[in-house]
Structure 1
Amino acid sequence: MPLALNHLDTGGDGVPLVVIHGLLGSADNWRSHLKQWQAERRVIAVDLRNHGRSPHAPGMAYADQAADVLALLDRLEIPRAHLLGHSMGGKVAISLARLAPDRVASLIVADIAPQAYGHGHDSVFAALRRVREGRPASRGEADALMAEHVDERATRLFLATNLVRGEDGALALRIGLDEIEADYPAIMAPPAGEGAYQGPTLVVRGARSAYVTDAMLPALREVLPRAELETLDAGHWLHAERPEAFQAAVNGFLARQAG
């Protein structure tokens, strides 16, 4: 049964833009973008299962995550939407577009390809487990615990967005870390569904990211044959590193769509 996802909704008319975050992200990460986009259209940012304020449940398969988002569209009485997904969220968006293309007005995929990837989050999971075990009283203490496993401060700051103050006063994780780790292979797998999504598509990639290389483009176009490609001078978190350029790419693409 699909989960009832938490979401942020700007309200407004027309075909909405639904924003889907990546692994260990949340709808909150997109608030600054929502403020910009809401002037033009209704924008909905979701918390995927085991992320943000959404329920925790076993299983991270893309068919299940796409069903969660589709159930949210049904609950909000949205017949069609533009989908924007970053990283893991991009695979969720591709899955939904393949499984229910009639519900997708257009597709925007940020720095991910519709293929399997190798494992690469062991240190991140170790850092989060260390925080959970250490029960830090402050964000400074949490950062020090994470630094035992993750050197990059920018990554630690991103992970810290998953911390909340518990009833005992200690900082705790709001994500379903055990559920995410247990089905991590499903996250690294290709999107769900078969065949190609034939609707209008934009793929935005980072020039300093290895997630969408030139070598991946032929296989990408088999799944997304109408994909326009935009390359930004950024890494994997291109929407955070180059927010204005990212917004311009998204806005330009959406302006060319009918809804």
Structure 2
Amino acid sequence: MAAPPPRALAAEPRRAPLSVGLAPPRHGARSAASRSRQEIVYSRGRLVSTNFNSRSSACPPCRCTQVAFADTKISYQPDADKHAGVLAYELVQGKLVQWNSFMDKSIPDPPTAVLLHGILGSGKNWGSFAKRLAQEFPMWQFLLVDLRCHGDSASIKKRGPHTVASTALDVLKLIGQLRLSPRVLVGHSFGGKVALSMVEQAAKPLPRPVRVWVLDATPGKVRAGLDGEDHPAELIEFLRRMPRQVNSKQEVVDALVKAKFSLDVARWVATNLRRSSPVGLRSSSSFSWIFDLNGISEMYKSYEDTNLWGIVDDVPRGVHINFLKAERSLHRWALEDLQRIHTAEELAADEAGGVEMHLLEDAGHWVHADNPDGLFRILSSTFRVETSIRGVQD
């Protein structure tokens, strides 16, 4: 439940590309003046950076001027209807990412990693972790996506069916719209299957290598939790039966705990509530969900039914798939899953691809919350390898 050079990974012609060089979203613009930190809020996406360049520009087509000051958050947001995008997102950039790479193609595109959340999550789940990665690897940028029906993307109407494949295609289209060139795909739980589906839907062979991380998820059968553990499908259905508006977040927490869901999960779910009445009217305030629970229910069913073992058994040339198993998440991993992945490791090595298994100790399913230091150490190896292979100038 619930993270290649230009033209690195291209989707089939009828689909959006998973890479084409980096350029600005058509609804956004380059950054404006900055001292030590810059942050731009697009209508459907936000750009966070620690860049020292000083720039000024306007946002077409509304021509709104955007200015950033040290440690100041820009809250301006153009009319969303005029700038409706594929998905909501946040782009976190390291301080060595050069702003003018958005326009000046003589400057190499910065290496990009895409981070995908799990069911009932949002891109914000990766916020702190992405900023930590950006500090350690300052020439990288990290795209945090709100998947369909989740977070700020819930207000962007999507046609069904709501499946793993359609969710992956959304991300492919977003990457094409932003004209990014991802070298790394990181997906937690449901997001892990989305990352695999992105590779499956992309054109083969891939022009450039891509490293995929599937965090605490298997390519096939989803195994329910044991007694005393939270069951995502049951949690989603319980939330669907709750009122669409509640008086407080604590009301939701109490209801979930009473229904035998864990306190940690109850508190986490409550973070997906947003105040739905004017802030000034505190006495009559209410909260509503920021996600589409009906769509999410459909997505989770697809997560249970989707089988992506084929992409693991026959890894495309240039793709390296890493599986990470959480030590305390034993119920999600059967012996047959582990054996099949280890077999794929040997076969992929012979075919110039890559499959690798990792273990994250002292962590349950919520890997980036349970053991962020351990996860950081494991994932860092990918960014160090990619950086050393290509160098700062690619």
1:69 paired residue among 150, 155, 171? 171
Correspondence for 1:21: 117
CA RMSD of aligned residues (A): 2.5
The structure having more radius of gyration, on CA atoms, is: 2
Whole-angstrom distance in 2 between the partners of 1:162 and 1:220? 34
TM-superposed deviation, 1:187: 1.9
Whole-angstrom distance in 1 between the partners of 2:336 and 2:199? 23
TM-superposed deviation, 1:183: 4.8
Structure 1 residues 64 and 126: CA distance shift in structure 2, 3 A: closer
Q: Which has the higher contact order (CA 8 A, sep 6+)?
A: 1
Aligned pairs for 1:42-121 within 5 A = 42-54=141-153, 55-57=156-158, 58-100=160-202, 102=206, 105-118=210-223, 120-121=231-232
Correspondence for 2:26: none
Aligned 8 A contact 1:10 1:43 in 2: yes
Task: Give CA-to-partner distance per residue, 1:138-176, whole Å, 9 cap, x none.
Answer: 222221122232431111112112111113731111111
Aligned 8 A contact 2:342 2:357 in 1: no
Structure 1 residues 7 and 106: CA distance shift in structure 2, 3 A: same
- Between stretches 249-258 and 188-197, larger displacement belongs to 188-197
Task: Give CA-to-partner distance per residue, 1:1-34, whole Å, 9 cap, x none.
Answer: 9871111101335220100001111001111101
Count the aligned residue pairs: 258
1:136 paired residue among 240, 246, 268? 246
TM-superposed deviation, 1:213: 3.9
Residue 7, structure 1, aligned to residue 75, structure 2:
no
Correspondence for 2:9: none
Aligned pairs for 1:1-259 within 5 A = 4-11=86-93, 12=97, 14-39=110-135, 40=137, 41-54=140-153, 55-57=156-158, 58-100=160-202, 102=206, 105-118=210-223, 120-133=231-244, 135-167=245-277, 169-191=285-307, 194-195=310-311, 196-198=314-316, 199-209=319-329, 210-220=331-341, 225=348, 226-233=354-361, 234-257=363-386, 258-259=389-390
Aligned 8 A contact 1:112 1:205 in 2: yes
Whole-angstrom distance in 2 between the partners of 1:155 and 1:255? 33
Whole-angstrom distance in 2 between the partners of 1:158 and 1:227? 32
Aligned 8 A contact 2:116 2:145 in 1: yes
Can you give the 5+ residue segments of structure 1 that lack an aligned partner in the other structure? none
Whole-angstrom distance in 1 between the partners of 2:166 and 2:305? 13
Can you give the 5+ residue segments of structure 2 that lack an aligned partner in the other structure? 1-14, 17-84, 98-108, 225-230, 279-284, 349-353
Bigger helix fraction = 1
Structure 2 residue matching 1:132: 3-state secondary structure: coil
Amino acid at match of 1:105: V
Aligned 8 A contact 1:123 1:150 in 2: no
Amino acid at match of 2:211: S
Identity of aligned residues (%): 26
Whole-angstrom distance in 1 between the partners of 2:134 and 2:196? 23
